[in-house]
Amino acid sequence: MSEKKPALWLRIYSFLVYAYIYLPILILIIFSFNTQKLNIHWEGFTLAWYDKLFHDSQILLATRNTLIIALISTVVATIIGTMAALALQRYRFPGYAASETVLYIPVVIPEVVMGISLLAFFAMIKLTLGLVTITISHIAFCIPFVALVVRARLHGFDKSIEEASMDLGANELVTFWRVTLPTIMPGVLSGAMLALTLSLDDYVITYFTAGPGSTTLPLRIFSMVRFAVTPEVNALSAIWVLTVFILLFVATYAQRRRA
Amino acid sequence: MEKPMRKFSLIRTLREKPSAQGSFLMLPTNLYLLVFMILPLILVVVLSFLARGNYGNIVYKFNITNYTRLFDTLYLKILGYSLQVGLETTIISLLVGYPLAYYIARSPARQRSLLLFLILLPFWTNFIIRIYAWIMILRGEGFLNTFLQWLGVIQEPLNILYTPTAVLIGMVYEFLPFMVLPLYTSLEKIAQAQLEAAADLGAPPWKTFLRVTLPLSVPGMIAGTILVLIPAMGMFVVPDLMGGAKTMLIGNVVRNQFLTARDWPFGAAVSMVLMLLTMAFTLYYTRKAGFGEELLV
């Protein structure tokens, strides 16, 4: 669209929407440094809540669980999903339409339905709920998103560079490793980022597939929030938000430099 | 050798037949999703036609009482209310998000990716945290009330938290980017030439907007509607944390039947209704509009 500057009212309006998006998060972070336990008015600056957080064994366990689940599901879903993206973008094979349709299931079915269906399924096959069931479930809902995102990034991939590589004597494996993979890497990375975020963020499906001892951070935060509004929750949230912001900035910056 | 070993013939097939390569690459996804997505969903369908035993166990006796029970006024009301909340969330997100998407699409090309990034950034953080931020703002002694009292607009604190309004505020905040992104994708694709043509033919800006921009952004609106309405319909976390006891959505019913009432067959029937609603809706609109890229956030 146009390169003209948008109208003034539109700029003011958009500024207000951005304020609406960011103010709650800003307030949340500021009040993680509040000395008042009820966290209603600002009393004074402290880092005590952060200190408390780092000695809270339940939080530490939940953090460990969350990271284990997120890392495993990201790696597995990215590999499997990228294969599917390559298949769908570059080949025609029997069952193509069906394979493609299945990828849209998590987009069109509410999370709560997926949660209870997995819960019922694990109960049926008598698999004890815990880290394993959570990870299996996370991989399941991450694969379609990875496949769809990577596939979208594969548009315009030039097959002739692969043919050139083969003509120059490289076999399929070398061609894949030295030519195909580096070319599709930005797409694969954005798929992996999405899988990582989906897994870290997931509350609903985790809630239905978690067992005793497998609490994750979103589950822990939920029960803390339900119980009381304390600066400790703010501190935990602030760490989370800042970690994600920093990671995203680094990832975006790295991609810009590459491009 | 008398006959070739199987292993080699498999590799040869893979080397020579592209369709075999495609099937091979697709295999892990198809297998995984068959076992951990399709089978569980089929299980829910079966479950919805079974009965609950006295101890919360499942009795394998085919019946449709789980579905007839849904016609109870209590459940019809919840269903109606969920539809209402879902539609309200969608419409407000559309009204708030459209001008913003338009603004981003109209900004200089260099700024666009940054503006989009800023929309997405908070939503890469945890969604319970975002709800919590709003609880801090909306509660009786929260920032909104403190601010309004300081301004002198109100004398007594407003009771917003634990009302349906709070649920709507939370949901719109949660789902806004799902509306903005597909809208942006649509708006950004509109060629400058089309807008100039309208202007050259004498159309004033508002008319160009109504007759060119708006119709061309319909795919984005529909994709955004699907991406907002479906999660909004199944939502139970926002009503749990911000809605108080009165706001019960269909998602809460499903959750309760599975985890507290332990009536899985009835819970399965409720999820079936929820699933059919969202799927019917998606099919209807995707058939009508024919779009693809917009749905891919």
Say whether residue A19 is in contact with chain B using an 8 A CB cutoff. no
Mutate to test the interface with B, among A1, A75, A104, A194 (most CBs of B within 10 A): A1
Q: How far apart are CA A135 and CA A70, in angstroms?
A: 8
Angstroms from A92 CA to nearest CA on chain B:
6
Phi, psi of B225 (to 5 degrees): -60, -45
Q: Which residues of B touch A118 (CB under 8 A)?
A: 36, 40
Tell me how far apart the alpha carbons of residues B110 and B45 are, in angstroms, rounded to a whole number. Answer: 50
Q: Do A80 and B173 touch (CB under 8 A)?
A: no
- Provide the ipTM: 0.88
Q: Which amino acid is at B95?
A: L
Residue A50 domain flag: yes
**B234 with A116: Cβ contact below 8 A:** no
* In chain A, % of residues over pLDDT 90: 41
Residue from A37, A83, A112, A149 to probe the interface with B (highest B Cβ count within 10 Å): A112
Chain A residues in contact with B235 (beta carbon < 8 A) = 110, 112
Determine contact, residues B172/B89, Cβ cutoff 8 Å.
yes
Chain A hits for B258, Cβ within 8 Å: 116, 119-120, 208
Q: Is A176 on the interface with B (CB under 8 A)?
A: no
Segment A54-59 shows an average pLDDT of 90
Across A23-27, A74-78, B13-17, least confident range = B13-17
pLDDT-based confidence at A1, cuts 50/70/90? very low
Q: Give contacts of B109 with chain A, Cβ < 8 Å.
A: 3
Band of pLDDT at residue B296, cut at 50, 70 and 90: low
Closest residue in chain B to residue A196, using alpha carbons only = B124
pLDDT of B3 higher than 60: no
A34 inside domain: no
Domain with A233, as residue range(s), is 44-258
Is residue A103 within 8 Å of B224, Cβ to Cβ?
no
What does the pLDDT read at residue A15?
Answer: 94
Residue A75 sits at the chain B interface (C-beta within 8 Å): no
Average pLDDT, chain B: 86
Cα of A244 to nearest chain B Cα, Å: 6
Q: Give the closest-approach CA distance of A180 to chain B in angstroms.
A: 14
Cβ contact B141–A40 (<8 Å) = yes
Q: How far is A128 from chain B (nearest CA, A)?
A: 15
**pLDDT band at B159, cuts 50/70/90?**
confident
- List the CATH number of the domain containing A184: 1.10.3720.10
Nearest to B128 among A83, A99, A222 (CB): A222
Domain B69-295 in CATH 1.10.3720.10: yes
Measured between alpha carbons, how far is B12 from A45 in angstroms, rounded to an integer? 69
Distance from CA of A94 to the nearest CA of B (A): 7
Flag if B296 and A106 touch (Cβ within 8 Å): no
Q: What would the pLDDT profile of A134-191 be if each residue is shown by its tens digit?
A: 999 999 999 999 998 888 878 767 777 888 888 888 887 888 888 888 888 888 988 8
* Shortest CA gap B25–chain A (Å): 5
Q: Flag whether pLDDT at B290 surpasses 60.
A: no
Distance CA A230, CA A219 (A): 16
For residue B8, what pLDDT band results from cuts at 50, 70 and 90? low
* Whether A13 and B267 lie within 8 Å, measured CB to CB: no
Write out chain B residues lying below 8 Å of A149, CB-based. Answer: 296
Mean pLDDT of chain A: 87
The SS3 call for residue A121 is helix
Residues B118-126 have a mean pLDDT of 81
A97 inside 8 A of chain B by CB = no
B25 vs A10, A86, A241: nearest CB: A86
Q: What is the mean pLDDT of residues B1-10?
A: 59
Q: What is the mean pLDDT of residues B216-242?
A: 89
Question: Is B1 a residue whose pLDDT tops 50?
Answer: no
Residue A192 lies in a domain: yes
CA distance B255 to A221: 19
DSSP states along chain B: --S--HHHHHHHHHHH-HHHHHHHHHHHHHHHHIIIIIHHHHHHHHHTTSEE-TTS-EE-----HHHHGGGSHHHHHHHHHHHHHHHHHHHHHHHHHHHHHHHHHHS-HHHHHHHHHHHHGGGGS-HHHHHHHHHHHHSTTSHHHHHHHHHTS-SSPP--TTSHHHHHHHHHHHHHHHHHHHHHHHHHHS-HHHHHHHHHTT--HHHHIIIIIHHHTHHHHHHHHHHHHHHHHH--HHHHHHSTTT---HHHHHHHHHHTS--HHHHHHHHHHHHHHHHHHHHHHHHHH---GGG--
Interchain pair B107, A6: CB under 8 A:
yes
- For chain A, the domain total comes to 1
Per mean pLDDT, which of A145-149, B30-34, B230-234 is the most reliable?
B30-34
Residue B47 neighbours by CB distance under 10 Å: 22
